[in-house]
Amino acid sequence: MNILITAFEAFGDDSINPTERLLTDIGKEQIAGAEIHTLLLPVVFDECADKLLEAVRVLRPDAVICCGLASGRTSITPEQIAINLKEVPKESSVTDNNGSRPYDERISLDGPDGLFSLLPVRKMVDIMREQGIPAAISYSAGTFICNNTMYALLDYIRVHQLPMVGGFVHFPASEDMAVARPSLPSLSHETMLKGLKVMIHTLLL
């Protein structure tokens, strides 16, 4: 099985994005039955999706697991749904890495309002928890870059009726991020890497 794993560069106030290290390490793993490809995506509206879809066209993977940081979350959270909205709330100071702050914009003018993940999110969560890894389904990927990426991937698969599955997983902050901000919920890199491996194995079942 050809599996594409993506992660994001750092953004906002954080100087690291723990998914980048996950990507480096998962790329070194030998997983029987899986050929792993890795791709780092920019935290820039639209470009994030353009780069991902270009890789999908070239690699024609059987599965795509996109990974991103959701600072403040306490567990590994496969996303159930992506919504057709790009929005940085007015009260937020965050911008993408090009300084962009869209508000009330559609990702696709004629696409559906929402698209469900094609990954086996329940099975992934159940198996991670059986293995002692904190995990839960998330019912909102937000309206920032990660949601933009997930929606664009699912819409592309839908429109082109591709024989592949895909979706998005948010990871909490890593322990090294919590050293500077001790009240930040975090998981160790090792636990998150184990979670990512479990999710890949779930696809191979």
The answer to whether 69 contacts ligand PCA (rule: CB under 6 A) is: yes
Query: Catalytic annotation on 67?
Result: no
- What is the smallest separation between the CB atom of 111 and ligand PCA, expressed in angstroms? 18
Q: Which is nearer to ligand PCA, 3 or 70 (CB)?
A: 70
167 sits in which H/E element: strand 165-171
Contact 27, 162 (CB under 8 A): no
The answer to whether 80 contacts ligand PCA (rule: CB under 6 A) is: no
* Stretch binding ligand PCA (CB under 6 A), from 120-128, 137-145, 154-162, 185-193: 137-145
- What is the smallest separation between the CB atom of 82 and ligand PCA, expressed in angstroms? 11
In 3D space, the residue among 8, 60, 18 whose CA is nearest the CA of residue 39 turns out to be 8
- Residues between 31 and 60 that touch ligand PCA (CB under 6 A): 43
Q: For residues 63-77, b (16+ Cβ closer than 10 Å) or e, as one string?
A: bbbbbbbbbebebbb
Q: Which is nearer to ligand PCA, 8 or 156 (CB)?
A: 8
Annotated active-site residue in 48, 66, 67, 146:
146
Q: Which is nearer to ligand PCA, 44 or 127 (CB)?
A: 44
Contact 11, 40 (CB under 8 A): no
Contact 102, 95 (CB under 8 A): no
170 sits in which H/E element: strand 165-171
Catalytic residues: 146
**Binding stretches for ligand PCA (CB under 6 A):** 8, 11, 17, 19, 43, 68-70, 142, 144-146
